[in-house]
A and B are shown apart, each in its own frame.
Chain A
Amino acid sequence: MMPDGTVRSHDALDEFLEPMRLYLLGQSQLPQDTSVIVIVGSDGESRKVWTTLQTHVEADCLKFGS
Protein backbone atom coordinates (compact mmCIF):
# COMPACT_ATOMS: atom_id res chain seq x y z
CA MET A 1 0.00 0.00 0.00
CA MET A 2 1.45 3.32 -1.08
CA PRO A 3 0.86 6.69 0.60
CA ASP A 4 -1.74 7.65 -1.97
CA GLY A 5 -3.76 4.53 -1.20
CA THR A 6 -2.83 2.65 -4.32
CA VAL A 7 -1.57 -0.90 -4.11
CA ARG A 8 1.63 -1.74 -5.94
CA SER A 9 2.14 -5.17 -7.43
CA HIS A 10 5.42 -6.66 -8.57
CA ASP A 11 3.54 -7.99 -11.59
CA ALA A 12 4.33 -4.67 -13.26
CA LEU A 13 7.93 -5.79 -13.65
CA ASP A 14 6.98 -8.87 -15.65
CA GLU A 15 10.04 -10.53 -17.13
CA PHE A 16 12.41 -8.12 -15.37
CA LEU A 17 11.54 -9.45 -11.94
CA GLU A 18 13.40 -12.76 -11.97
CA PRO A 19 16.73 -11.42 -13.36
CA MET A 20 16.62 -8.66 -10.75
CA ARG A 21 15.87 -11.14 -7.97
CA LEU A 22 18.84 -13.26 -8.98
CA TYR A 23 21.03 -10.16 -9.07
CA LEU A 24 19.97 -9.18 -5.57
CA LEU A 25 20.75 -12.70 -4.40
CA GLY A 26 24.23 -12.34 -5.85
CA GLN A 27 23.65 -15.15 -8.33
CA SER A 28 23.92 -13.10 -11.53
CA GLN A 29 25.13 -9.80 -12.89
CA LEU A 30 22.91 -6.77 -13.28
CA PRO A 31 20.80 -7.51 -16.38
CA GLN A 32 22.32 -5.92 -19.46
CA ASP A 33 19.02 -4.42 -20.55
CA THR A 34 18.56 -2.67 -17.22
CA SER A 35 19.89 0.73 -16.23
CA VAL A 36 19.78 2.44 -12.88
CA ILE A 37 19.50 6.21 -12.70
CA VAL A 38 20.01 7.86 -9.34
CA ILE A 39 18.81 11.43 -8.89
CA VAL A 40 19.93 13.26 -5.77
CA GLY A 41 17.70 16.18 -4.84
CA SER A 42 19.44 18.39 -2.29
CA ASP A 43 17.14 21.39 -2.40
CA GLY A 44 14.63 22.02 0.36
CA GLU A 45 11.51 21.59 -1.75
CA SER A 46 12.58 18.18 -3.02
CA ARG A 47 13.21 17.00 0.53
CA LYS A 48 9.66 17.88 1.54
CA VAL A 49 8.07 15.55 -0.97
CA TRP A 50 8.05 11.79 -1.24
CA THR A 51 7.70 10.55 -4.77
CA THR A 52 6.25 7.08 -5.03
CA LEU A 53 7.31 4.62 -7.67
CA GLN A 54 5.39 4.40 -10.91
CA THR A 55 5.68 2.19 -13.93
CA HIS A 56 5.39 3.79 -17.32
CA VAL A 57 6.94 3.76 -20.77
CA GLU A 58 9.18 6.64 -21.72
CA ALA A 59 11.28 6.84 -24.89
CA ASP A 60 10.46 3.19 -25.65
CA CYS A 61 11.83 2.11 -22.30
CA LEU A 62 9.87 0.62 -19.44
CA LYS A 63 10.62 2.97 -16.59
CA PHE A 64 10.09 1.89 -13.00
CA GLY A 65 10.57 4.89 -10.80
CA SER A 66 9.24 8.32 -9.94
Chain B
Amino acid sequence: MVIDICKLCRDSKPLQESHFMPGALYPKQRKPNYATRYSSGPFDSKEKQIKSHLLCFGCEQRFDRNGESEVLYWTNPKGKQSRLAERLGVALGATTTRQTEINPFIATPAVTSEPTWTSSHTLQSVLFGAVRYAIG
Protein backbone atom coordinates (compact mmCIF):
# COMPACT_ATOMS: atom_id res chain seq x y z
CA MET B 1 0.00 0.00 0.00
CA VAL B 2 1.28 3.42 -0.94
CA ILE B 3 0.34 6.29 1.34
CA ASP B 4 1.01 9.70 -0.14
CA ILE B 5 -0.64 12.97 -1.09
CA CYS B 6 -3.67 12.51 -3.36
CA LYS B 7 -3.16 14.69 -6.42
CA LEU B 8 -6.78 15.84 -6.40
CA CYS B 9 -7.88 16.38 -2.80
CA ARG B 10 -4.29 16.73 -1.54
CA ASP B 11 -4.95 14.73 1.61
CA SER B 12 -2.47 12.12 2.76
CA LYS B 13 -4.21 8.80 2.12
CA PRO B 14 -3.62 5.34 0.68
CA LEU B 15 -3.37 5.82 -3.06
CA GLN B 16 -4.92 3.66 -5.74
CA GLU B 17 -3.02 2.60 -8.82
CA SER B 18 -4.90 4.98 -11.07
CA HIS B 19 -5.24 4.56 -14.80
CA PHE B 20 -4.82 7.89 -16.58
CA MET B 21 -7.26 6.56 -19.14
CA PRO B 22 -9.76 3.88 -18.06
CA GLY B 23 -8.34 0.40 -18.55
CA ALA B 24 -11.41 -0.58 -20.57
CA LEU B 25 -10.44 1.91 -23.28
CA TYR B 26 -7.21 0.08 -24.07
CA PRO B 27 -7.72 -2.09 -27.14
CA LYS B 28 -7.39 -5.76 -26.31
CA GLN B 29 -7.44 -7.37 -29.74
CA ARG B 30 -4.95 -5.28 -31.63
CA LYS B 31 -1.83 -3.26 -31.16
CA PRO B 32 -2.43 0.31 -32.23
CA ASN B 33 0.16 2.91 -33.02
CA TYR B 34 0.73 5.98 -30.97
CA ALA B 35 1.27 9.40 -32.48
CA THR B 36 2.51 12.65 -31.05
CA ARG B 37 3.35 15.83 -32.87
CA TYR B 38 6.96 14.67 -33.00
CA SER B 39 7.04 10.89 -33.25
CA SER B 40 5.01 7.76 -33.86
CA GLY B 41 5.40 4.03 -33.48
CA PRO B 42 3.82 0.81 -32.23
CA PHE B 43 2.15 0.87 -28.87
CA ASP B 44 1.88 -2.32 -26.85
CA SER B 45 -1.17 -1.42 -24.82
CA LYS B 46 -1.04 -4.54 -22.64
CA GLU B 47 2.37 -3.65 -21.29
CA LYS B 48 2.12 0.10 -21.32
CA GLN B 49 -1.14 1.05 -19.69
CA ILE B 50 -0.43 4.45 -18.28
CA LYS B 51 -1.03 4.39 -14.56
CA SER B 52 0.53 5.47 -11.31
CA HIS B 53 -0.29 5.94 -7.65
CA LEU B 54 -2.22 9.13 -8.15
CA LEU B 55 -5.58 9.34 -6.41
CA CYS B 56 -7.13 8.18 -3.17
CA PHE B 57 -10.15 5.87 -3.26
CA GLY B 58 -12.61 8.72 -2.77
CA CYS B 59 -11.23 10.73 -5.67
CA GLU B 60 -11.13 7.63 -7.87
CA GLN B 61 -14.82 7.22 -7.12
CA ARG B 62 -15.40 10.90 -7.85
CA PHE B 63 -13.97 10.47 -11.35
CA ASP B 64 -15.96 7.31 -11.90
CA ARG B 65 -19.21 8.82 -10.65
CA ASN B 66 -18.85 12.16 -12.42
CA GLY B 67 -17.52 11.09 -15.75
CA GLU B 68 -15.82 7.84 -16.53
CA SER B 69 -18.78 5.54 -16.22
CA GLU B 70 -20.73 7.88 -18.51
CA VAL B 71 -17.88 8.06 -21.03
CA LEU B 72 -17.56 4.28 -21.03
CA TYR B 73 -21.29 3.93 -21.60
CA TRP B 74 -21.21 6.21 -24.64
CA THR B 75 -17.97 4.88 -26.13
CA ASN B 76 -18.98 1.28 -25.41
CA PRO B 77 -15.47 -0.15 -25.84
CA LYS B 78 -16.59 -3.74 -25.25
CA GLY B 79 -19.34 -3.55 -27.82
CA LYS B 80 -19.23 -3.55 -31.57
CA GLN B 81 -20.63 -0.06 -32.00
CA SER B 82 -19.97 3.16 -30.12
CA ARG B 83 -23.27 4.50 -28.81
CA LEU B 84 -21.99 8.04 -29.32
CA ALA B 85 -21.10 7.36 -32.95
CA GLU B 86 -24.51 5.75 -33.42
CA ARG B 87 -26.31 8.80 -32.05
CA LEU B 88 -24.14 11.14 -34.10
CA GLY B 89 -25.11 9.18 -37.18
CA VAL B 90 -28.78 9.60 -36.37
CA ALA B 91 -28.37 13.30 -35.67
CA LEU B 92 -26.26 14.15 -38.68
CA GLY B 93 -27.28 11.89 -41.50
CA ALA B 94 -29.39 8.84 -41.14
CA THR B 95 -32.76 10.56 -41.49
CA THR B 96 -31.72 12.74 -44.41
CA THR B 97 -30.14 9.80 -46.20
CA ARG B 98 -33.42 7.92 -46.06
CA GLN B 99 -35.26 10.98 -47.36
CA THR B 100 -32.91 11.16 -50.34
CA GLU B 101 -33.39 7.51 -51.14
CA ILE B 102 -37.14 7.86 -51.04
CA ASN B 103 -37.31 11.15 -52.92
CA PRO B 104 -34.48 11.62 -55.44
CA PHE B 105 -35.63 15.19 -56.09
CA ILE B 106 -34.28 16.30 -52.75
CA ALA B 107 -30.90 17.45 -53.93
CA THR B 108 -29.66 18.93 -50.68
CA PRO B 109 -31.13 17.19 -47.69
CA ALA B 110 -31.68 19.52 -44.78
CA VAL B 111 -31.17 18.61 -41.19
CA THR B 112 -34.63 19.14 -39.79
CA SER B 113 -33.91 19.02 -36.12
CA GLU B 114 -31.06 19.81 -33.80
CA PRO B 115 -28.95 16.90 -32.64
CA THR B 116 -30.39 15.64 -29.39
CA TRP B 117 -27.54 13.49 -28.11
CA THR B 118 -25.73 16.34 -26.42
CA SER B 119 -26.47 17.11 -22.83
CA SER B 120 -24.54 19.10 -20.30
CA HIS B 121 -24.14 15.90 -18.33
CA THR B 122 -22.53 14.10 -21.24
CA LEU B 123 -20.24 17.03 -21.95
CA GLN B 124 -19.20 17.16 -18.33
CA SER B 125 -18.48 13.45 -18.45
CA VAL B 126 -16.30 13.73 -21.51
CA LEU B 127 -14.53 16.62 -19.85
CA PHE B 128 -13.79 14.64 -16.73
CA GLY B 129 -12.29 11.87 -18.79
CA ALA B 130 -10.23 14.23 -20.90
CA VAL B 131 -8.73 16.37 -18.18
CA ARG B 132 -7.59 13.53 -15.99
CA TYR B 133 -4.16 14.05 -17.44
CA ALA B 134 -4.13 17.55 -16.01
CA ILE B 135 -3.57 16.47 -12.45
CA GLY B 136 -1.16 13.63 -13.14
Contact = CB atoms under 8 A, between A and B. Distances in A.
Interface in B12-58: 30, 32-37, 39-41, 43, 45, 48, 50
B9 A49 contact: no
Contacts of A2: 34, 36, 50
Interface residues on B, range: 20 to 34
Interface string A11-53: 0010011001100111000100000101010100001111111
Nearest to A5: B39
B96 interface: no
Contacts of B123: 36, 38
Interface of B: 7-9, 30, 32-37, 39-41, 43, 45, 48, 50, 62, 66, 82, 84-85, 88, 123, 126-128, 130-131, 133-136
